[in-house]
Amino acid sequence: MKKRPRSVVLVSCLFIATGIIGVAYHASDLKTQDPVQSDLILVLFVRLLAVVGGVFALRGANWARWLLLVWMAYHVGISALHSASELAVHALILVGVSYVLLRPDASGYFRGTS
Protein backbone atom coordinates (compact mmCIF):
# COMPACT_ATOMS: atom_id res chain seq x y z
CA MET A 1 0.00 0.00 0.00
CA LYS A 2 1.32 3.44 -0.88
CA LYS A 3 2.22 5.71 2.01
CA ARG A 4 0.44 9.05 1.91
CA PRO A 5 2.78 11.96 2.78
CA ARG A 6 1.52 14.19 5.60
CA SER A 7 2.04 17.24 3.43
CA VAL A 8 -0.40 15.83 0.86
CA VAL A 9 -2.92 15.18 3.64
CA LEU A 10 -2.56 18.75 4.90
CA VAL A 11 -2.93 20.37 1.47
CA SER A 12 -5.83 18.09 0.53
CA CYS A 13 -7.67 18.83 3.77
CA LEU A 14 -7.12 22.57 3.30
CA PHE A 15 -8.64 22.40 -0.18
CA ILE A 16 -11.58 20.34 1.11
CA ALA A 17 -12.18 22.82 3.94
CA THR A 18 -11.79 25.81 1.62
CA GLY A 19 -14.26 24.32 -0.84
CA ILE A 20 -16.84 23.43 1.80
CA ILE A 21 -16.60 26.82 3.50
CA GLY A 22 -16.82 28.56 0.11
CA VAL A 23 -19.87 26.56 -0.93
CA ALA A 24 -21.59 27.26 2.39
CA TYR A 25 -20.78 30.96 2.16
CA HIS A 26 -21.90 31.40 -1.45
CA ALA A 27 -24.92 29.10 -1.15
CA SER A 28 -26.54 31.73 1.04
CA ASP A 29 -26.58 33.97 -2.04
CA LEU A 30 -28.99 31.53 -3.69
CA LYS A 31 -31.71 32.73 -1.32
CA THR A 32 -31.22 36.41 -2.07
CA GLN A 33 -30.47 36.33 -5.79
CA ASP A 34 -31.76 34.69 -8.92
CA PRO A 35 -30.76 31.02 -8.44
CA VAL A 36 -29.82 30.63 -12.10
CA GLN A 37 -27.38 33.53 -12.02
CA SER A 38 -24.47 32.22 -14.08
CA ASP A 39 -21.62 33.78 -12.10
CA LEU A 40 -22.95 32.35 -8.83
CA ILE A 41 -23.22 28.89 -10.38
CA LEU A 42 -19.64 29.22 -11.66
CA VAL A 43 -18.41 30.22 -8.20
CA LEU A 44 -20.16 27.24 -6.60
CA PHE A 45 -18.77 24.92 -9.27
CA VAL A 46 -15.21 26.18 -8.69
CA ARG A 47 -15.64 25.68 -4.93
CA LEU A 48 -16.88 22.15 -5.51
CA LEU A 49 -13.83 21.46 -7.66
CA ALA A 50 -11.65 22.22 -4.63
CA VAL A 51 -13.54 19.60 -2.61
CA VAL A 52 -13.38 17.01 -5.39
CA GLY A 53 -9.68 17.67 -5.95
CA GLY A 54 -8.91 17.40 -2.25
CA VAL A 55 -10.84 14.17 -1.78
CA PHE A 56 -9.32 12.46 -4.78
CA ALA A 57 -5.83 13.74 -3.95
CA LEU A 58 -6.20 11.96 -0.60
CA ARG A 59 -7.03 8.83 -2.59
CA GLY A 60 -3.87 9.22 -4.69
CA ALA A 61 -5.41 10.27 -8.02
CA ASN A 62 -2.75 12.02 -10.08
CA TRP A 63 -5.33 14.07 -12.01
CA ALA A 64 -6.54 15.49 -8.69
CA ARG A 65 -3.08 16.83 -7.92
CA TRP A 66 -3.10 18.70 -11.21
CA LEU A 67 -6.66 19.89 -10.61
CA LEU A 68 -5.58 21.45 -7.32
CA LEU A 69 -2.64 23.18 -8.99
CA VAL A 70 -4.85 24.53 -11.78
CA TRP A 71 -7.46 25.59 -9.21
CA MET A 72 -4.85 27.60 -7.32
CA ALA A 73 -3.40 29.08 -10.53
CA TYR A 74 -6.92 30.16 -11.48
CA HIS A 75 -7.17 32.03 -8.19
CA VAL A 76 -3.83 33.72 -8.85
CA GLY A 77 -5.25 34.89 -12.18
CA ILE A 78 -8.40 36.21 -10.51
CA SER A 79 -6.27 37.95 -7.88
CA ALA A 80 -4.42 39.80 -10.63
CA LEU A 81 -7.68 41.67 -11.22
CA HIS A 82 -7.76 42.79 -7.58
CA SER A 83 -5.13 44.22 -5.26
CA ALA A 84 -1.41 43.57 -5.45
CA SER A 85 -1.40 42.16 -1.92
CA GLU A 86 -4.10 39.64 -2.81
CA LEU A 87 -2.13 38.62 -5.89
CA ALA A 88 1.03 38.20 -3.81
CA VAL A 89 -0.71 36.06 -1.18
CA HIS A 90 -2.32 33.77 -3.75
CA ALA A 91 0.95 33.49 -5.67
CA LEU A 92 2.78 32.47 -2.49
CA ILE A 93 0.10 29.89 -1.74
CA LEU A 94 0.46 28.53 -5.28
CA VAL A 95 4.23 28.23 -4.80
CA GLY A 96 3.71 26.38 -1.51
CA VAL A 97 1.06 24.05 -2.90
CA SER A 98 3.21 23.37 -5.96
CA TYR A 99 6.19 22.57 -3.76
CA VAL A 100 4.15 20.13 -1.66
CA LEU A 101 2.36 18.38 -4.53
CA LEU A 102 5.35 18.13 -6.87
CA ARG A 103 7.96 16.89 -4.39
CA PRO A 104 9.44 13.44 -5.04
CA ASP A 105 7.59 11.79 -2.13
CA ALA A 106 4.26 13.22 -3.30
CA SER A 107 5.00 12.27 -6.90
CA GLY A 108 5.69 8.72 -5.79
CA TYR A 109 2.42 8.66 -3.90
CA PHE A 110 0.46 9.89 -6.90
CA ARG A 111 2.23 7.42 -9.20
CA GLY A 112 1.32 4.59 -6.87
CA THR A 113 4.84 3.68 -5.82
CA SER A 114 5.96 3.52 -2.21
Binning pLDDT at 50, 70 and 90, where does residue 77 land?
very high
Q: Which amino acid is at 55?
A: V
Binning pLDDT at 50, 70 and 90, where does residue 32 land?
low
Distance between CA 51 and CA 16 in Å, rounded? 4
Q: Is the pLDDT of residue 36 over 80?
A: no
Q: Is the pLDDT of residue 35 over 60?
A: no
Judging by beta carbons within 10 Å of its beta carbon (0-12, 13-18, 19+), is residue 109 exposed, middle or buried? buried
The mean pLDDT of 9-18, rounded to a whole number, is 98
pTM for this model (two decimals): 0.88
Q: What is the pLDDT of residue 37?
A: 67
Distance between CA 85 and CA 106 in Å, rounded? 30
